Amino acid sequence: MKKRALYFVLFLTLALLTLATVTLASDIFVRVNDSVTVDDINNVFYVPSAVKPDSVVLDLYGTDEITYIDNGEIKEINKNSPLDLTSYAIVDENGNKCYQKTVYLKDNPYTFTFYFASTLPSIHVSTVKGAENIVAYNSKDTSTTITIVNSDGTLEYTENQGELSEIKVRGNTTNSYAKKPFAIKLGHKAPLFEMSNDRQWILLANYLDQSLIRNSIMYKIAEILGMDMCDFKSVDLYLDGDYYGVYLLCEKVEIDNGRVNIRDLEEETELLNPSFNENAISVTDGDLINNTILTEYRYIDGVIDPADITGGYLIELDNNYYKDELCYFVTDNNNHYVIKSPEYASKAQVEYIATLFAEMEEAIMSQDGKNRLGKHYSEYADVDSFVYAYIIAEFSRNYDAGSSSMYFYKDSDKNGEFSKIVKGPLWDCDNTLGNIHKNDASNPEGFWAKGRSIWSGLTAKQDFNKRVTEVFTTLYDDIFNMLDMGGFIDDQLNELNGSYQMERLRWSSYDYSKWPTYYDGTHYDRWQSAPVFNFVEKYTDGVNNTNQTVIGYLCNHIESRANWLADEWGCQVTKRVRVLNDPPSPDAPPPAQPTIDNTWMIITIVIVASIAVIATCVVIVIVKKRD
């Protein structure tokens, strides 16, 4: 009897102690400033830049039943009396600045940690299907509402009354990772962040790029060269209040004003064809196959053509997923071209554009630069756009160079003048600049794109190589200006600062065993990413000179690659090295770790423990009397 009673009391004591020190229960729903929900596993808030540490409002089930202790005084947290966290700053175990504060939800103490974005705008998507379902099933939600907020709290975009937006998971390989890329369609056209006025936008996850800026760097280089590229802006994404990380908001590669600004043949074709039967016919024989280097093409049967089918066309070289598309054509060099627009291309349209590409490619791959018709490749191609694209592919050592994500376009002919094929816009540059180890792709020396696809033919031409040298000679200083202190890379790093910390915590990037490209000491996974970094330098000191940091590794690779190519291409340049930020002083003391205000939590634990001890004594006394 005594033992049973004692066990019961000990169990009761343990239960009461656990209740007193419990963390946030899964059924407690807390929001910060009406939008961001708490990570209820770690009691962490990832707060957008529009909310500042001195004005935090916590909301519990839509009520104001949240309090905290300030110098012994109990205070409520609500919209009229926000919480000022500025005196509760600490540095976490990874060196990231954050804020910790104990608050009371209906008299129960909870310690929350707050991370704040620095300057990035935030995109907030409210779904009907639920973010978890959209992500789990790579699906679409056509009934969402989207709000975009700048760091100063002003609205960049909000829906008009009655409007709905869309969000869906996009991508091929990238949609297999935990952090999904998305495509969004706004309720109305908007020139987001002074980009093109449109409804269709892409959110690139950059999940495998720990720097988060490889796409931005390469798009900037394309802009400097004058190559077509997609405007971009880094943002923080929230789905149903849950922080999903840093994304690169990009213009979609499509024919439209402000994007690929050419005649819209797809729109004109659709006007003549209110509906399509989607009867795709593949051709592997016939006159066109026999008299060109084409080996196969596929078109949509029964499509009525506009009078002019000379353009515009948007084409993508995609050797991996071309069969997933409606219309495409293949050459005997094993190049597979997808017709992205017009999507429902007629027999005449496919044969027209496929013939031009086949004749151009035959000339490119020939020894003298001419095809069987005696026409030089420069009669088909806008040569400078191909020069720019090759320099970018070679400089970045793009792992996908010559195999996928290579776009081309052709406008319609005007006034009897042939409109040449243009290489661009640039797309998909996360697997670049040393980010992939496989097949020596991270080596800053050696040619990479030169032997691939059409680049093998073009780089065998003296006129093409001469132009490459001329262009890279001019680009060389621009690259180092981007690397130097106060340059483009510094600007990107400072903008990402707080958001970068939130990203790494949200996706467990500090836990390298969870990283999708984890190296176990013997082998990498199938992507064999660049080395897993021991730490990430603070973005304010991001341009450093050690390969142990994400940014140091990236910048060292860019510097080495630029200098190696300048030598190989015979560029007459004055060799440069990066101008670095001053390194932090090794004698600098570590940041202070303020004491968390947990007075009432301690008092509560002591009271509960005392009650448990008294209860134990009472039970023991009763048991003794009965015995």
Sheet containing 58-60, strands listed edge to edge, beginning at the edge strand earlier in sequence: 36-37, 30-32, 58-60
Distance (Å, rounded) from C-alpha 82 to C-alpha 55? 5
Q: Reduced to 3 states, what is the DSSP secondary structure of residue 523?
A: coil
Give yes or no: residues 198 and 169 share one domain: yes
If pLDDT is split at 50, 70 and 90, which confidence band does 254 have?
A: very high
For the ranges 180-184, 416-420, 502-506, which has the lowest average pLDDT?
502-506
In single-letter form, the type of residue at position 84 comes to D
Residues 142 and 11 in one domain: no
pLDDT score, position 16: 33
- Quick: pLDDT tens for 107-122: 788 899 999 998 999 9
**Average pLDDT score over residue span 323-352:** 96
Q: Which residues contact 91 (CB under 8 A, 6 or more apart)?
A: 97, 98, 590, 591, 593
Relative to beta strand 44-47, strand 108-116 is: parallel
On the question of pLDDT at 549 being above 70, the answer is: yes
pLDDT at position 153 over 90: yes
- Is the pLDDT at 612 greater than 90? The verdict is no
Predicted local distance difference test score (pLDDT) of residue 61: 60
Listed range (94-108, 457-471, 564-578) with the worst mean pLDDT: 94-108
Using CA atoms, how far apart are residues 422 and 387, in angstroms rounded to an integer?
11
Instruction: Check if the beta carbon of residue 389 is closer than 8 Å to that of residue 302.
Output: no
Radius of gyration of the chain (CA): 30
pLDDT at residue 527 above 80? no
Is residue 474 assigned to a domain? no
In a domain, 46, yes or no: yes
At 62 the pLDDT is: 58
CA 595-597-603 angle, 5° bins: 120
Residues 359, 350: Cα–Cα separation, whole Å: 14
Quick check: 24 pLDDT over 60?
no
Asked whether residue 488 is domain-assigned, the answer is no
Q: Which of 300-309, 376-385, 493-502 has the lowest mean pLDDT?
A: 493-502
Q: Is residue 612 part of a domain?
A: yes
Considering the domain boundaries, does residue 536 fall inside one? no
Segment 597-623 shows an average pLDDT of 53
Higher pLDDT, residue 527 or 558: 558
Amino acid 617: pLDDT: 58
| pTM for the whole structure | 0.85
Asked if residue 301 and residue 165 are part of one domain, the reply reads no
pLDDT over 50 at 552, yes or no: yes
Q: What is the pLDDT of residue 613?
A: 56
Same domain, 292 and 411: yes
pLDDT at position 41, please?
Answer: 67
Same domain membership, residue 168 and residue 215? yes
Q: For the packed helices 462-483 and 488-506, what is the interaxial angle rounded to 10 degrees?
A: 70
Give the residue from 437, 463, 489 where a domain finishes.
Answer: 463
Mean pLDDT for the stretch of residues 418-425: 98
Query: Cα(first)–Cα(last) distance of the chain, in Å?
Result: 9
Res 462 pLDDT > 80: yes
- Confidence (pLDDT) at 502: 92
Q: Return mean pLDDT, the chain.
A: 84
Q: How far apart are CA 582 and CA 584, in angstroms?
A: 6
In one-letter notation, the amino acid at residue 587 is D
What are 215's two structure tokens? 């796409």
Name the token pair of 198.
């449109």
Give domain status of residue 621, yes or no: yes
Residue 511 belongs to some domain of the structure: no
Examine the domain organization and report whether 298 and 403 are in the same domain.
yes
CA distance 124 to 6: 54
Residues 6+ apart with CB under 8 A from 193: 121, 156, 233, 249
If asked whether residues 325 and 455 sit together in one domain, one would say: yes
* pLDDT at res. 158: 96
> Which range among 9-18, 50-59, 104-113, 337-346 shows the weakest confidence by mean pLDDT?
9-18
- Clarify whether residues 434 and 307 are in a common domain: yes
> At 110, is the secondary structure helix, strand, or coil?
strand
d(CA 205, CA 403): 21
In a shared domain, residues 73 and 179: no
Query: Considering its fold, how many domains does the chain have in total?
Result: 3
Q: Report the amino acid identity of residue 261.
A: N
What stretch of H or E contains 621?
helix 599-626
Asked if 323 and 397 sit in the same domain, the reply is yes
* Residue 42 and residue 15 in contact, taking contact as beta carbons nearer than 8 Å: no
- The pLDDT score that the predictor gives to residue 616 is 57
Give the β-pairing of 122-126 and 232-239: parallel
The torsion region of residue 2 among left (phi > 0), alpha (psi -120 to 50) and beta comes to alpha
User: Which residue reads 């050690």 in tokens?
Assistant: 546
Which residues span the domain enclosing 437? Answer: 265-463
Residue 271: pLDDT band with limits 50, 70, 90: very high
| Residue at which a domain ends, from 251, 280, 311 | 251
Residue 609 pLDDT greater than 60, yes or no? no
Q: Say if residue 344 is in the same domain as residue 442.
A: yes
Which of 408, 428, 463 is at the close of a domain? 463
Write down the pLDDT at residue 439.
80
The residue type found at 238 is Y
Flag the least confident range among 102-116, 210-224, 237-251, 342-356: 102-116
pLDDT value at residue 208: 85
Residue 225 lies inside a defined structural domain of this protein: yes
Q: Is the pLDDT of residue 610 over 90?
A: no
Asked which of 253-257, 278-282, 286-290, 374-378 is least confident by mean pLDDT, the reply is 278-282
- How do residues 25-77 score in pLDDT, each as one tens digit? 334 557 787 778 877 667 899 999 999 999 998 876 656 578 888 777 888 88
Strand 242-251 and strand 294-300: the pairing is unpaired
Which value, to the nearest 10 degrees, does the dihedral of the CA atoms of residues 537, 543, 549, 550 take? 100
Place of tokens 């001019």: 474
pLDDT band at 523 (very low <50, low <70, confident <90, very high): very low
Mean pLDDT of 192-216: 94
Q: What is the DSSP string of 407-470?
A: EEEEPPPBTTBPPPEEE------SS-TT-B-GGGTT-SSS-SSTTSHHHHHHTT-HHHHHHHHH
Same domain for 50 and 155: no
Convert the pLDDT of each residue in 357-398 to its tens digit: 999 999 999 999 999 999 999 999 999 999 999 999 999 999
- Reported as a single tens digit per residue, the pLDDT across 70-108 is 777 888 887 778 889 999 999 988 788 999 999 887 778
